[in-house]
Structure 1
Amino acid sequence: MNRMNVKKFGFAIGFTGALVYAGCMIVLATVSKEAGISFFNSLLHGLDTTSIIRMDVPLLEAFFGIVQTFILGWLIGACIAAFYNVQIRK
């Protein structure tokens, strides 16, 4: 079996997470609060997002959120690839 490149897989997962975060930002920036609640309620299968959706997120907070999402995604992806590589050695 082939080994996974830890850095590349980490980047792929981190970038995918950042894209999802950016998509969420775009949805909330372009629709009304009610439409956003309806969208995320249907996406999250019965979880009521009414009390947790904020429409007035400051730009700096959104920037830090997308950066943190990328970093966490990179770490998760790198761990998955590293654990995979360790398992195929055996």
Structure 2
Amino acid sequence: MKYKKLGFAFGLTGALIYLGCIIVMATAGREETITFFNNLLHGLDTTNIIRMDVPLLEVFFGIVQTFILGWLIGACVAAFYNAQIKVKNRNIL
């Protein structure tokens, strides 16, 4: 498994989810956004943590940070998977 490609896939997926959150917050009002995230998070009350006035620079850094974390997670998954495959192959021989 290629760790850079899986890392990129995880990072891009995380960034797309982040963009989905942006779209929900931009198109729904505050109450609908709270309802959406409360439902998504199994009833966790997000009333006190939802901010509707997020500056664009903060949004940009949020997308970049989400992509980087996703890339690192994907790369780690691939590296751990590859290491496990190598260990199993050695045991077979």
What is the TM-score with the length of structure 1 in the denominator?
Answer: 0.95
Identity of counterpart residues, as a percentage? 75
String of CA shifts for 1:6-48, please: whole Å, max 9, x gaps: 0000000000000000000010011110000000000100100
Please identify runs of 4+ aligned residues in structure 1 that moved more than 6 A. none
**What is the Cα deviation at residue 78 of structure 1?**
0.1
String of CA shifts for 1:56-78, please: whole Å, max 9, x gaps: 00000000000000000000000
Q: Which residue of 2 aligns with 1:56?
A: 53
Bigger helix share = 2
Q: Give ranges in structure 2 of 5+ residues lacking alignment.
A: 88-93
For residue 82 of structure 2, what is the amino acid of its counterpart? N
* Distance in 2 (alpha carbons) for counterparts of 1:44 and 1:24: 13
What RMSD, in angstroms, separates the aligned Cα atoms of the two structures? 0.4
Count of aligned positions? 87
